[in-house]
Amino acid sequence: MPTEIQAAVCRTVGEPLEIESVELDDPAPDEVRVGVVGSGLCHSDLHVIDGSLPAPLPVVLGHEVAGVVLEVGSQIQGIDVGDHVVAGISAHCGSCRCCAAGKTWLCERRFSPGLRSETQPKIRAGDATIGGIGGLSGFAEQMVLHRSAAVPIDPEMPLDRAALIGCAVVTGVGTVINAARVRPGETCAVIGCGGVGLNVVQGARLAGAERIIAVDLQASKLELAGRFGATDFVNAGGGDPVEAVLGLTGGRGVDHAFEVIGLKSTSEQALSMASDGGAAYLIGVLPPGLALEVPGTEFVLGNKTLCGVRMGSSNMASDFPYFVELYQQGRLLIDELVAERITLAQVNEGYDKMRIGDQARSVITFDPPN
Ligand SMILES: NC(=O)c1ccc[n+]([C@@H]2O[C@H](COP(=O)([O-])OP(=O)(O)OC[C@H]3O[C@@H](n4cnc5c(N)ncnc54)[C@H](O)[C@@H]3O)[C@@H](O)[C@H]2O)c1
Ligand SMILES: [Zn+2]
Ligand SMILES: [Zn+2]
């Protein structure tokens, strides 16, 4: 029996999400149904709403989610009704070439990791079907997802903050520890200090970086970056940020430069900020079809690396509980990322605030299911 739920549906690019009653399918044998408690607003979903990241519509967005398991499919082991879970978009099959190599975030069947293929809908409105994003649909009271995308966590962890582990934290901290493997004493620059970039900053702090240079256009974001561990601050509106970073590093540049916005200009800045032997990591999602320009001679003779990073190169099942533990020890800041808690009906206002850009995350919260 399908369940009737409230969801925010994206029907037309550039238009506000519409709050509607929709029908959610029962979980397939390898899926779970989760009552959403916290659902963060990530910029990747705003790319879909604004059309810079095309996706089939209509769609229920929301991929930074934590909640309580309400129902498990008939084949599910190791997860029970009542468990608290953080959801992530890296659903995986466990047996393809990438999964076998331990790179579950690159699973070759990540869009259809289990019994249900991507094209088989889970959400309906009347006769029409509605898609999700990366196997999730967290701007709703409940969602159905593949077992591999739901990671059980300590029930003591507050779910409105646990939600942010599912994208902002894993992408930001994960990139630093799994992809860049920043070592104590190295230098970092972080271009774009939003929800994800602030987590790059704190990942670099956890890794023991010597200098963490925060770059943003907003003074409020630079101030927040200081709380997350940044040691130096560059307002990109006040001149060329590449020159500023070179100036702060004796002309050398940084060992690791992270782009966390999704623009051509700042992606190229990241490469120019990287020192000889250093690397630039592109986290921000660039519009499809957009090509970057790489200065050939500098790149080759400077022995530089350019690296794209998907979902923090993270195996969720091991990293999510690790982030919960760090939060509980007071070493990972998440409370400070939550600028406001909002209702599902306020999702469009939350995204208007992201377009302005002066605060970190808005998080939709629902009462925990009984
Ligand atoms: N690679 C991945 O797996 C992955 C995962 C999650 C998010 N993302 C992407 O990461 C990017 C950041 O997401 P977010 O949720 O943190 O966004 P956000 O809107 O919260 O943060 C973006 C920040 O960039 C700043 N900014 C904008 N233009 C700038 C400029 N020219 N120079 C310096 N700073 C500038 C803004 O002030 C803001 O603080 C998005 O493109 C998102 O799609 C990628
Ligand atoms: Zn995201
Ligand atoms: Zn796989």
pLDDT 10s digits, 267-281: 999 999 999 999 999
- Give residue 205's pLDDT: 98
Number of separate helices (H) and strands (E) present in the chain = 11, 17
Collapse the DSSP code of 282 into the 3-class scheme (helix H, G, I; strand E, B; otherwise coil) and give the result: strand
Pick the residue whose CA is nearest to atom 22 on ligand 1.
194
Q: Regarding predicted confidence, which is higher, 119 or 41? A: 41
**Could you give the CA distance from residue 180 to residue 200 in angstroms, rounded to a whole number?**
10
- Give residue 265's pLDDT: 98
- Give residue 9's pLDDT: 98
Decide: 285 in ligand 1 pocket, CB within 6 A.
Answer: yes
Atom of ligand 1 nearest to the CA of 354: 19
**Average pLDDT over all residues of the chain:** 97
Listed residue (137, 188, 139) closest to 25, CA to CA: 137
- Give residue 148's pLDDT: 97
Q: What percent of the chain has pLDDT above 70?
A: 100
Contact 304, 279 (CB under 8 A): yes
**Could you give the CA distance from residue 85 to residue 321 in angstroms, rounded to a whole number?**
10
Does the pLDDT of residue 370 top 90, yes or no? no
Q: What percent of the chain has pLDDT above 90?
A: 96
Listed residue (294, 307, 31) closest to 142, CA to CA: 31
Task: Tally Cβ neighbours within 10 Å of residue 334.
Answer: 23
Centre of ligand 2 to C-alpha 300, Å, is 32
pLDDT band at 111 (very low <50, low <70, confident <90, very high): confident
Average pLDDT over residues 142-151: 97
Does the pLDDT of residue 14 top 80, yes or no? yes
Average pLDDT over residues 192-203: 98
* pTM recorded for the entire structure: 0.98
Using a CB cutoff of 5 Å, list residues around ligand 3, an ion.
92-93, 96, 99, 107
Burial 107-144 (b: 16+ CB within 10 A, else e): bebbebbbebeeeeebbeeeeebbbbbbbbbbbbbbbb
Does the pLDDT of residue 242 top 90, yes or no? yes
Atom of ligand 1 nearest to the CA of 312: 3
Centre of ligand 3 to C-alpha 107, Å, is 4
Average pLDDT over residues 74-83: 96
Look up residue 84 and give its DSSP letter. Answer: E
The CA dihedral of 123, 126, 128, 129, to the nearest 10 degrees, is 10
- Give residue 335's pLDDT: 98
**Could you give the CA distance from residue 370 to residue 233 in angstroms, rounded to a whole number?**
46
Pocket test residue of 173, 261, 307, 319 for ligand 1, highest count of atoms within 8 A of CB: 261
